Structure 1
C-alpha cells in the first residue's frame, strides 16, 4: 500500500507536486505515543476511531487509558503492527461501511491524515457521518497561514518510488468543515492540532 515502506520502518519521504518533499515521521509513528501526541490523546474521552492508524501508537495509548479505540487503515501492514502492539484495528477504507457508524464520540486524523483521498471536504463529510451528534474530530493540521494544498503525492524510500495518489495538506483556517464548528487550535512540540465539534 501507499505508506508501507514507512510502516516497515524505512526512512521515507512524501512528495507532493509543487511542494518541497517532506520526510515522514517514521520513528515517531513506530515509537510509543509521546510529545505532541498528548494533545490528541487528551481530547479523546470516549469511543474513538483512529482513521489511518498506521502502526497503532495512538490506538494502543488510548486503550492503555481505558478508552475504547479502533484503528482503521487500508494497509494490512498497519493493521498487523497495530494488533502486535496490543491495539485493535481493521483493514478498511474510511469511505467504506465501518463499525459504529454515527456512534463514535471522537475521530482522529493524525499524522497528516486529513490528506486521505486528496479531498478534505469529502473526508470531513464522511467523518461527520461517523460521529454522534456533538462528537468531535481532532485533526493534525499545518501551521496557521499555510492554506490548503491539494495534489498528487507519492512516497519515496531509498531505492523505491511509489505510485502517485491524491493527497492534501491544510491549516485549520482553510479546512472545509461544513456541519462542524471549530472548538480549539493549539501547538505542541512543533506540531499543530485542531478540534471541530459536529453540529
Structure 2
C-alpha cells in the first residue's frame, strides 16, 4: 500500500534527505509500518532500523526489506538504551496517539537520543482535531503546539515545512518538523 508513496512526495523526500545528512549514528524509524521509509533512509546511507506496534507490519517490513532490522515495540516505552541514537523518525506515526500521550512520547524520544541528535516528525497539520483514518482515529496538530511540547522536552526547532495536499490526498495540510535535542 505504501511501498511507492515517496515516489510522488518530492518535498518529503527532500526533508528526509536533509535529515539523513544531519544525523550521526543509528536512527529509529518509530511507527515504521511496512518499512518503506526505513529502507529509504538506509538507501541514503543511514544506519536505520524500524519499530512498529503491529507484528503484522513488522512481518511485512521484514519480508519486503530482508537486509534491515525491524522490531515489534511501542513508542511509549522504546527498548533502546538512553542517549544512543543519532536520530528518531516519527513519519506520520504520532498521528494515532491521543493528544494527552504525545508529550510523554516526546520525552521518550529525548531519552533515547544522544545530545545533538535529531527528531523528524511527519504529521497532518491543522486545528488539533480528530478524524477517521484507515488504521485508527488520527489527529491533526498545530505546528506551533508541537514545537511547544517539544521545547518542554529539551528540543530546539531546526526547520518546519507545511504544504498543501496533493491531488488524491486527504484534504489536510501536511507537516514536517525537524528538531534537535539540546
TM interval, shorter chain, is 0.7 to 0.9
1:1-199 alignment to 2 at 5 Å?
Answer: 27=1, 29-31=2-4, 33-34=6-7, 35=9, 36-38=11-13, 39-44=15-20, 45-46=23-24, 47-86=26-65, 87-111=68-92, 113-118=93-98, 119-143=101-125, 146-149=126-129, 168-175=139-146, 176-177=149-150, 178=152, 179-187=154-162, 190=165, 191-199=174-182
Using a 3 Å threshold, how does the CA distance of structure 1 residues 189 and 127 change in structure 2: closer, same or farther?
Answer: same
Q: When you count helix as a share of all residues, which structure comes out higher?
A: 2
- Output the TM-score relative to the length of structure 1: 0.70
| Structure 2: gaps of 5 or more residues | 166-173
Q: When you count strand as a share of all residues, which structure comes out higher?
A: 1
- Output the TM-score relative to the length of structure 2: 0.75
Q: CA offsets, 1:53-98, max 9 Å, x none?
A: 0011111112222210010001112111211222321001122342
Q: CA offsets, 1:146-187, max 9 Å, x none?
A: 2433x6x7655xxxxx8x77x533122011111111111124
Aligned-partner Cα distance in 2 for 1:77–1:187: 31
Root mean square deviation, CA, Å: 2.5
Aligned-partner Cα distance in 2 for 1:66–1:93: 25
| Structure 1: gaps of 5 or more residues | 1-26, 157-161
Higher RCO (Cα < 8 Å, 6 or more apart): 1
Matched with 1:5 is none
Using a 3 Å threshold, how does the CA distance of structure 1 residues 147 and 173 change in structure 2: closer, same or farther?
Answer: farther
